Chain A
């Protein structure tokens, strides 16, 4: 706060004297000015929000939304990172190649963050298995600090990636192996110390476990499925975030709305990986949605339009757009929304002419 010093008083007094001298002029024009204010407020859209666009060359949030198990890669390349082998009992062995690497990423137009990443991206690749599958993650630490992968889910303590002896030093490898349980939407993240820094630097991702089919029928209805990781970046390292987003890039979906179909079931896998702020939230405009917290039940636990999640909490959200048009979605902490965590759905009618 500015100290009221003698000089500031002097400034104030100086103005005061002028105010007295010019009071007549001011009072004459005040009324007219009051009226005009409403007309003076310009109505240009998009003055709010970051200016410019982030390059989507190395990471495209729109693509990340509907990608899991490296499904965005060409088949040959995909096999380098993900292999699935059917097992006699009908389940699957799913093998992943994950590596940690230091990488500068663009999180808002022109703002570059010295991130620690899994496979060069933040959030890390989304892993998706079915309940009962065997998951085998071959981890190579190519970063400059010791890292781990700590999965949320059932697994033996030796697979937890959390204790000091679990840390994988730069250049070393470790294989995480466990059964995918329980079904739901989970997460994985680095658990090396100091924990806070390893997480907020970008070492986290989503781990989805689908429920088993019931009599050959998927337990969850087919839907347009979307992966949303609520995250944030402390660019000046003052333990407060300067950039908030869903899937890293500030305001990305304000420019590139998420295109969905009217009448089609939408399923969002949502996880909060925001560091420093205790909670984050999702608010979807003009629509209500069903929530299954942690996704560990098939029945919704509540129906709402605003969902609050603590750090590490997650939920499966289902809704169907009734109307076509643009639907805003954002954190209902206005500060987060205006610092990047805000986007649009564009719901379109199914094309009937084809």
Chain B
């Protein structure tokens, strides 16, 4: 290394770091000489913001997490349950700084199946409410808990996907138009799921304490998953090309990508299920599982649709089924044991990004070349898209 190059590298570092150093100096100046008289920061009342979540119910006891979501310290003074002052204990004191949280435990004789509202009153009299829509005892994690989550995940994720995979022999006997129809149908289904996941994710993003910027997390998850799958797809194609496989006719790579996308989506769904179970929010347990199985069976169809020209490989099919369905179980476990709306938002975002990528992959497959819009407006594609959307809409109505 010559003195000139080391000198120029040093200059580069200097240029890179100088603004940061100056920023540091500015911060010090601001903190040291905060012109509070001019800005009036002292005269303003403090901004109090608490976020209440994760209510757990035990016999004669309600507990919930309180997070300081505002810039200023907040002191919890009293707790009301259903407009009555009630005793409580806190595991982290009553004075909470920015993003500090505490778990409050209230010895309260709650009534099963009825609504309760917990209200935290701060030292300045500001109030924050948390509604327990339907009070049911929160299940405790144990072996039965794991069995339950596995069962739920199997019903909601694995079985529907497996059922859909059984269409594989049919897919192989379809003509060009039939295949276009089937793939378009899949796109319709997935677009529906995409809108659904987007709506749910953004709704949940608004529930997350504001400091955590739920919408940003959701978008980060979506874009990250899309780009991640995109590069995974390219890598798979390159690998197959290197192995001498015929890229155009091999649907396995696409099927695998779709399975991964659906798996990611199902993981987010599993999280939500586990969380609902853990929080006792879903007290009105009904056996509408049949309706949901119908709704999710189409996910399996989406996976096998690209495999029309391929030989049946049972092992491969099972693998795809596991990749697409099993994450529901893992999600349910995680959601049930360590619930956090934050993770739910992130994974709903990842799920949405994955679905979007899968949609693009399939469209690439059904439109090998030529203008996309002209091909998209052909009869099989249009009817497939409409049918896909209609199926989801109809089964969605069953679901409520």
Q: Which residues of A contact B (CB under 8 A)?
A: 1-2, 4-22, 25, 37, 40-42, 44, 46-51, 107-113, 233, 235-236, 242-243, 250-251, 335, 338-340
Compute how far the CA of A8 lies from the CA of B59 in the bound complex, rounded to whole angstroms: 25
**Nearest CB in chain A to that of B89: its residue:** A51
**B133 touches A (CB below 8 Å):** yes
Chain B interface, >50% SS class: mixed
Bound Cα distance from A13 to B291, whole angstroms: 9
Whether B123 and A110, one on each chain, are in contact in the complex, defined by CB atoms closer than 8 angstroms, is yes
B299 proximal to A (CB < 8 A):
no
The answer on a CB contact under 8 Å between B121 and A242 is yes
Contact of B84 with A339 in the complex, beta carbons under 8 Å: yes
Chain A residues with CB below 8 A from B285, complex form: 12, 15-16, 18-19
**Could you tell me the distance in whole angstroms from the C-beta of A152 to the nearest C-beta in chain B?**
29
Given contacts A9-B288, A12-B282, A15-B152, contact A109 B77 (CB under 8 A): yes
| Interface 9-mer from B49-57, B270-278, B309-317 | B270-278
The yes or no answer to B3 lying at the interface (CB within 8 A) is no
Q: Is the CB of B78 within 8 A of A110?
A: yes
Count B interface residues, CB 8 Å: 53
Given contacts A17-B155, A40-B59, A235-B125, contact A10 B84 (CB under 8 A): no
- Is A6 in contact with B85, judged by CB distance below 8 angstroms? no
- Say which residue of A15, A25, A233 sits within 8 Å of B276 (CB atoms): A15
Contact A4 B400 (CB under 8 A): yes
Interface centre among A1, A13, A236 (most CB of B within 10 A): A13
Contact A51 B87 (CB under 8 A): yes
A7-B200, A19-B287, A49-B86 in contact; A13/B156 too (CB < 8 A)? yes
Taking a contact as CB atoms closer than 8 A, the residue among B59, B107, B126, B196 that contacts A236 in the complex is B126
B220 contacts A by Cβ under 8 Å: no
B253 within 8 A of A: no
Q: What 8 new A-B contacts, CB under 8 Å, besides A235-B121, A235-B126?
A: A10-B156, A10-B272, A11-B281, A15-B276, A15-B285, A22-B144, A109-B78, A235-B125
Which residues of A have CB within 8 Å of B377?
none
Which of B159-193 touch A at CB < 8 Å?
none
Contact of A12 among B107, B121, B284 (CB under 8 A): B284
Top 6 A-B pairs ranked by shortest CB distance? A235-B125, A338-B84, A110-B77, A11-B276, A11-B282, A17-B289
Check B318 for interface membership: any CB of A closer than 8 A: no
Known interface pairs A6-B396, A11-B273, A111-B77; A51-B88 also in contact (CB < 8 Å)? yes
Known: A108-B78, A112-B125. A49 touches B85 (CB 8 A): yes
Query: Contact flags (1/0) for B138-167 with A, using CB distance below 8 Å?
Result: 000000100110011001100000000000
Interface centre among B126, B282, B286, B396 (most CB of A within 10 A): B282
B75 CB-CB contact with A under 8 Å: yes
Q: Residue B127 at the A interface, CB < 8 A?
A: yes
CA distance A103 to B277 in the complex (A): 48
Which residues of the partner chain B approach A236 to less than 8 Å between Cβ atoms?
125-127
B100 at the interface (CB under 8 A from A): no
A1 surroundings in chain B (CB, below 8 A): 133
Q: Which of B78, B87, B152 contacts A14 (CB 8 A)?
A: B152
Asked if B269 is at the interface of the complex by the 8 Å CB criterion, the answer is yes
On chain A, the residues within 8 Å of B78 by CB distance are 50-51, 108-111
Does A242 lie within 8 Å of B125, measured CB to CB?
A: yes
Bound: A107/B108 CA distance, A: 23
A41-B109 in contact (CB<8A): yes
Bound-state Cα–Cα, A108 to B119, Å = 15
Please, which residue of chain A has its CB at the minimum distance from the CB of B296? Answer: A10
B46 at the interface (CB under 8 A from A): no
Residues of B within 8 A of A15 (CB): 152, 276-277, 282, 285
User: B75 contacts which chain A residues (CB < 8 A)?
Assistant: 110
Question: How far, in whole Å, are A8 and B196 apart by their CA atoms in the complex?
Answer: 12
How far does the alpha carbon of A41 sit from the alpha carbon of B58 in the complex, in Å?
Answer: 12
The answer to whether B360 has its CB under 8 Å from any CB of chain A is: no
Partner of A242, one of B127, B282, B287, B291: B127
